[in-house]
Structure 1
Amino acid sequence: MLIGLTLPQNYSVNKSVLIDAKVATVKSLVADFSLWHLWSPWQKVDPTITFSIGEPSRGIGAHQSWQNDWGHGEMTITSLTNNQMTFNALLKNEHIIEGKITFTEENGFVKVACNIKGQTTTPLVSGYLSLFSEYVLSNTVALGLNNLQTVAQLRDEKTQLESYDSEISPSKN
């Protein structure tokens, strides 16, 4: 217990991925909670989790909450610009998370970077919870970004193919 008292209560996770897709495609998948089921790994990581999506489901003020065997939480998008989305999350009404996802164009790719800062506040075990949270989030965010990469690239490819098909298809006239 004494070691746990000396451990930091704060943690951070920083992960990024390059995606061969348009910024608009990537941003639409991230800034709309109703599309998170396409790429978010949480239901695979924890099959007991259930999500509820509030209104609005996308953009500033979008809100989602969840319940699982470990407890409950909620997330809200707090700002959204051309190249960044910020959010706040609260776990079990005591564990505070602030996050930022940036979208930067680099050599024809979109670099998506996810930065999360959290703080645990459970008496006596906060240090241990902080280490555990950083470990779980680090792996889950990396998996989520890889999933996002796949989904965004497939969406962009499908859009490009549909556009190309309509250009070469004979007219119905």
Structure 2
Amino acid sequence: MQFLLILLLLFIVIGLLLPQSYNVTKSININANTHIVKPLITDFSQWHKWSPWKKLDPSVELSLGEPSTGVGAHQSWQSKWGAGEMTTTALSANKMVLNILFAQEHIIAAKVIFTQNAKTVTVTFQITGQATLPLVSGYVAVLSEHILSNAVSLGLNNLKTVAQLSDAQTIMENHGSQNRTSKN
């Protein structure tokens, strides 16, 4: 019994010493133009094409708000793991800023940065959050950082595939229309 009490006390002390905040930054280079990539991210109605969450948690039920794009765009979800909502708070030519709320108390700030290079666009997701559960926030922060890091990497890889296929299809369609001859 005394051993279990010591383990519990040790668990609590370690949890209190762990950082309660977390940061995830992931980038990917996509062989497509920004005008192909950006709408896949800035329009919540396009997220189903690349977002990993439905595969990671099949119980997720998404609800899109109106509008689905631009400042004020809103998306919410419900799953066996809880509920949440995401709102676009700022949008510019090269950046999107999001506020994410989990379980009505866990606030996450996210930025998506678009950097156009010669033939590629670099997409960078930056996520910062802070766990707020008494006594276990440190553990929640470590777990959240791990889960979000893996999910963002998966999402960026999915985004790259979808964007590059869309860009290739656009190029093929444009090339095909230029090669067509009209009969008079």
Normalised by the size of structure 1, how large is the TM-score? 0.97
Q: Provide runs of 4+ in structure 1 moved above 2 Å.
A: none
Deviations 1:144-164 (A, max 9, x none): 000000101111110110011
CA deviation after TM superposition for structure 1 residue 62, in Å: 0.4
Measured in 2, the distance between the counterparts of 1:13 and 1:106 equals 23
Aligned pairs for 1:1-173 within 5 A: 1-173=12-184
- Counterpart of 1:107 in structure 2: which amino acid? A
Partners of 1:80 and 1:21 lie apart in 2 by: 20
Cα offset for 1:91? 0.3
* Letter aligned with residue 96 of structure 2: M
CA distance in 1, matches of 2:22, 2:67: 30
Aligned pair count reads 173
SS in 2 for 1:2: helix
Cα distance in 2, alignment partners of residues 56 and 15 from structure 1: 27
State how far apart, in whole Å, the 1-side matches of 2:43 and 2:122 are: 19
- The residue type paired with residue 93 of structure 1 is Q
Can you list the C-alpha shifts for 1:104-155, whole angstroms capped at 9, x where unaligned?
0123210100000011111111111100000000000000000000101111
Which structure 2 residue ranges, 5 or more long, are not aligned?
A: 1-11
- Cα RMSD between the aligned structures? 0.9
TM-score normalised over the length of structure 2? 0.92
Which is higher, the Rg of structure 1 or of structure 2?
Answer: 2
Comparing 84-93 and 1-10, the one that deviates more:
1-10
The code of the aligned residue for 2:36 comes to: T
The CA distance in 2 between the partners of 1:64 and 1:122, in whole Å, is 24
Q: Which has the higher helix share?
A: 2
The Cα shift of 1:42 comes to 0.3
Identity over the aligned pairs, expressed in percent? 55
Q: 1:23, 1:110 within 8 Å by CA — same for their partners in 2?
A: yes
Deviations along 1:17-68, whole A, 9 cap, x unmatched? 0000010111110000000000000000111111100000011110000011
Q: Which runs of 5+ in 1 are unaligned?
A: none
Cα distance between partner residues in 1 of 2:107 and 2:179: 53
Q: Say which SS state the counterpart of residue 58 (structure 1) adopts.
A: coil
Q: Distance in 2 between matches of 1:106 and 1:57?
A: 28
Q: Distance in 2 between matches of 1:171 and 1:62?
A: 43
